[in-house]
């Protein structure tokens, strides 16, 4: 669906931090039918579009591992950033991107990266929950209750505990009637570190996995969550983890 004006406290876009934006644009362009739009005055950023509408951003960054970082819309970046630090987060980067937004990347107490996005003037994704766009955002955490509580205080979210096969515990982060994201406890044998996953909608998960591998990506695992869909975790050619969601076959 078309994204309405992004509400402060909601995820508004996800940004890929990569050393090679051209490689990333080629991979995701072929996989999701995205096109890359240059930003005048901001040579390190690309806006990725699907059906002519913004769905994600790519940022050239050579300071760390390649990673997708979901960003939350805020009214006052400095204030929210200070509140995040007060809750135990560290500021990794911050700055103004001409023609786009005031941005900050933060690291929470477990090491998961999340972003803050103050529109200036761009408000983020213009298409969500459609094939080729962001479908859901999910935190993997070693201490899900504590993480949900911290993010709840920061962004005004209410954690709601639930469960569904195959997970014994899952936390939905809500604001009123709106679901903002989820928190999934890391299993004892998962061999992953805490992170925010960006989950993209596809028409056929198995076909998208095959295409991703042909383009140089790697499929980590595929499973079916009856209440959510056919889910696959992959890495792109630069090593960034991303998730696909398609309908159950």
11-63 pLDDT, tens digit per residue, is: 999 999 999 999 999 999 999 999 999 988 889 999 999 999 999 999 999 98
Please tell me the distance from the alpha carbon of residue 168 to that of residue 206, in angstroms, as a whole number. 26
Maximum pairwise Cα distance, the chain = 48
List the structure tokens of 146.
Answer: 């504590």
CATH number of 134-246: 3.10.180.10
Residues of the chain scoring pLDDT < 50: 5
Q: What's the confidence (pLDDT) of residue 5?
A: 47
Please tell me the distance from the alpha carbon of residue 164 to that of residue 180, in angstroms, as a whole number. 18
Could you tell me which of 143, 141, 134, 112 has the C-alpha nearest to residue 243? 134
Contact call for residues 168 and 116 (beta carbons, < 8 A): no
Burial of residue 234 (CB within 10 Å: 0-12, 13-18, 19+) is buried
**Helices marked H in the chain:** 21-32, 77-86, 144-155, 205-214
Q: What's the confidence (pLDDT) of residue 132?
A: 97
**Overall CATH class of domain 11-119:** alpha beta
For the chain, the structural domain boundaries read 11-119, 134-246
């Amino acid at each position: 669906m078309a994204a309405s004006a992004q509400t402060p406290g909601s995820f508004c876009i996800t940004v890929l931090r990569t050393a090679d934006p051209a490689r990333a644009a080629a991979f995701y362009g072929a996989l999701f039918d995205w096109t890359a739009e240059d930003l005048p005055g901001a040579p390190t950023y690309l806006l990725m579009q699907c059906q002519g509408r913004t769905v994600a951003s790519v940022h050239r960054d050579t300071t760390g591992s390649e990673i997708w970082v979901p960003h939350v819309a805020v009214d006052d970046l400095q204030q929210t950033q200070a509140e995040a630090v007060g809750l135990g987060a560290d500021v990794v980067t911050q700055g103004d991107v001409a023609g786009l937004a005031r941005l900050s990347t933060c690291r929470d107490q477990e090491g998961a990266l999340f972003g803050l996005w103050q529109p200036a003037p761009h408000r983020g994704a213009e298409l969500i929950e459609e094939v080729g766009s962001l479908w859901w955002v999910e935190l993997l955490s070693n201490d899900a209750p504590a993480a949900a509580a911290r993010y709840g205080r920061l962004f005004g979210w209410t954690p709601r505990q639930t469960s569904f096969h195959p997970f014994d515990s899952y936390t939905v982060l809500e604001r009123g009637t709106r679901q903002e994201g989820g928190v999934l406890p890391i299993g004892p044998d998962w061999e992953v570190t805490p992170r925010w996953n960006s989950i993209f909608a596809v028409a056929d998960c198995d076909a998208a996995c095959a295409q991703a591998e042909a383009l140089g990506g790697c499929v980590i695992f595929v499973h079916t969550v009856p209440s959510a869909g056919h889910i696959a975790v992959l890495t792109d050619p630069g090593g960034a983890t991303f998730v696909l969601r398609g309908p159950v076959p």
